[in-house]
């Protein structure tokens, strides 16, 4: 197991958008956690991404989503209750869920893992792209991640929540933008090691593990409520998008005029 602790890759710009994304996710988790189990489940069903809703857009057919409402641990003799909700398949609501699902999480551990990875790698991508372009890159990566999950399981009625797909896009962008950057990494293989490894190795291993898990799901070898293909799609989307978005974003401490002069500068020719 590999777990990135931090990277040795300084940045110039203040990572305001990264911090804002983390704060919004934390506030949303506090709000969701303070709801009773029934209302929390309803929020997840209405605002999580349900692939079948997207599949039913052309038919305009509602989708029935069933979840098991877990009882409060302190409530004696309580049994799990099945909760069914009929969700409309309107384009506005489905499109909205592609955004809202990125800011909801299934628990504090789920949130902490995503936000830690975003903090370690997101500040450098924000530094490279600039605040506005980075924000668009993050959201678009998350949407493409969810659409990948839909392509692989278009009739699933399980709501998908979490920033994992958007964060995976950031990881993909980092892997090709700073492949040799050193990442202080916790390695657990029978014993615990802490070493500095190239970012491409750390993130490449992470991607291969997700790919193996995704293939395991397709072949019926893994049955976990994790959208592995959203992670895979987000990572690939990040790799594809970063060079495109970087075209419109001068590196830190430069501007369009300086970048253009550097790109098209010709050496003086002695006559």
**Dist. CA 52–CA 252, nearest whole Å:** 42
Residue holding tokens 């949407």?
143
Residue the block writes with tokens 């006559």 = 271
Is 224 within the bounds of a domain? yes
Q: What pLDDT does 141 receive?
A: 97
pLDDT tens, residue by residue, 132-167: 999 999 999 999 999 999 999 999 999 999 999 999
CATH number of residue 22's parent domain: 1.20.1540.10
pLDDT at 73: 43
Closest CA to 129 of 9, 11, 236, 6: 11
Residue 75's pLDDT is 47
The pLDDT value recorded for residue 60 is 77
In a domain? residue 173: yes
- CA 242 to chain CA centroid, nearest Å: 15
* Residue 118 lies inside a defined structural domain of this protein: yes
Domain interval for residue 96: 2-35+90-250
Residue 221 inside a domain? The answer is yes
Residue 223 lies in a domain: yes
Mean pLDDT by 10 residues, the chain (271 residues): 92 94 97 90 92 88 74 50 81 94 94 97 95 96 97 93 97 96 91 93 96 92 89 97 85 57 51 43
Name the token pair of 211.
């790919």
- What pLDDT is recorded for position 34? 92
- Domains contained in the chain, number: 1
Q: Is residue 52 part of a domain?
A: no
* DSSP character string of 49-111: B-HHHHHTTTTT--EEEEEEEPPPTTSTT---EEEEEEE---HHHHHHHHHHGGG--SSHHHH
Q: What Rg, from alpha-carbon coordinates, does the chain have? A: 21
Assigned domain for 65 exists: no
Token pair, residue 199, equals 């970012």
How much is the pTM? 0.87
Burial class (CB in 10 A: 0-12, 13-18, 19+), 71: middle
CA-CA distance, 72 to 179, in Å (whole number)?
A: 46
In a domain, 236, yes or no: yes
Asked if 250 contacts 259 with a C-beta cutoff of 8 angstroms, the reply is: yes
């Amino acid at each position: 197991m590999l777990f990135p602790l931090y990277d040795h890759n300084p940045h110039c710009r203040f990572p305001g958008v990264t911090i804002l994304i983390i704060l919004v996710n934390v506030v949303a988790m506090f709000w969701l956690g303070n709801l009773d189990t029934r209302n929390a489940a309803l929020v997840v069903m209405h605002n999580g991404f349900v692939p079948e809703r997207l599949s039913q857009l052309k038919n305009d057919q509602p989708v029935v989503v069933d979840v098991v409402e877990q009882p409060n641990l302190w409530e004696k003799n309580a049994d799990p209750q099945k909760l069914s909700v009929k969700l409309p398949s309107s384009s506005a609501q489905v499109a909205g869920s592609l955004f809202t699902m990125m800011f909801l999480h299934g628990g504090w551990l789920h949130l902490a893992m995503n936000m830690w990875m975003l903090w370690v790698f997101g500040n450098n991508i924000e530094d490279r792209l600039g605040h506005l372009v980075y924000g668009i890159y993050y959201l678009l990566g998350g949407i493409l991640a969810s659409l990948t999950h839909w392509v692989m399981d278009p009739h699933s009625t399980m709501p998908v929540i979490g920033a994992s797909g958007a964060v995976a896009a950031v990881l993909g962008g980092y892997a090709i933008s700073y492949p040799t950057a050193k990442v202080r990494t916790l390695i657990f293989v029978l014993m615990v090691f802490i070493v500095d490894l190239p970012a491409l190795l750390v993130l490449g291993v992470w991607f291969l593990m997700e790919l193996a898990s995704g293939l395991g799901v397709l072949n019926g070898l893994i049955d976990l409520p994790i959208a592995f293909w959203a992670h895979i799609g987000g990572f690939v989307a990040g790799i594809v998008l970063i060079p495109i978005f970087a075209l419109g974003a001068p590196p830190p401490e430069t501007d369009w005029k300086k970048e253009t002069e550097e790109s098209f500068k010709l050496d003086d020719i002695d006559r």
